[in-house]
Amino acid sequence: MEELARTVAGAVAEGIAWATQPNPAPVSIRTSGLKMTNPDNFDGKPSTLFNVWWKSVTKYLSFYPETSDQQKIAWVGTLLTGMAKAWDLHRYDTLGENDSWVNYAADIRTEYHDPREAANAQLKLSQLKYSGDIRAYMTEFWALNNYARATGESLQEKIDLAMTDAVLDMRFAHYMGEFADDEGFLEATYQAALQVEKKKALKQAREQGRPTGSMT
């Protein structure tokens, strides 16, 4: 009994000691700081597209949500050159610290947004042709479609007219029926073009591997 009593007393003492000790320090988890590359500069010229540049600006700022209004305005000012820089400095001379990000963002869009961008992009999109590299084609297509905003039948028609017969034949052979959305259509076209390109590369490799004097 005495041994049992000593065991119980020891356990109680340990429990009291654990309960009365100070709280352990919180564990500090170190994470690597991620950084984004600054968007390109904007010069305000009519030939310089504004919308995609501004989208890159807003995307950058969304990555740093704690940025204050004045910091946003000052930072955007560092990206501006030429006439756009002159516009920014004149605005600062007029408003100074009384400016707000909401008003600044609205006014720079009003100043430099070009409604012709969409029409010009639509025309360039219609003229864009697939020339054997589907990755290059899709990259240019999406760059233009940021302005043109083609979707549905309009998007699908433009891509179908840009593709070669070999790509269309490959797609129709592997994908039956209608596509539920643009994403499925784009993926099917992309994969079909990749297969055509692989087949072409294989054919060229086989031809180059033929011995001299072989019949073609």
- Mean of pLDDT values over 62-86: 94
The 10s digit of each residue's pLDDT in 134-151 is 999 999 999 888 878 899
Tokens matching residue 100: 């707000």
pTM given for the model:
0.55
Residue 128 · residue 162 · CB < 8 Å: yes
Residues 105 and 76: their CA atoms lie apart, in Å, by: 10
Least confident interval from 3-17, 66-80, 163-177, 190-204 = 3-17
How high is the pLDDT of residue 14? Answer: 54
The 10s digit of each residue's pLDDT in 13-61 is 554 444 445 554 444 434 346 788 999 999 998 878 888 899 899 999 9
H helix intervals, 63-133? 69-79, 82-95, 101-112, 116-127
Percentage of the residues of the chain whose pLDDT score is greater than 90: 57
pLDDT, greater one: 7 or 40: 40
Angle at 151 between CA 148 and CA 157, to 5 degrees: 95
pLDDT greater than 50 at residue 186: yes
Could you state, in order of their start, the residue ranges of all structural domains in the chain?
Answer: 51-112, 116-201
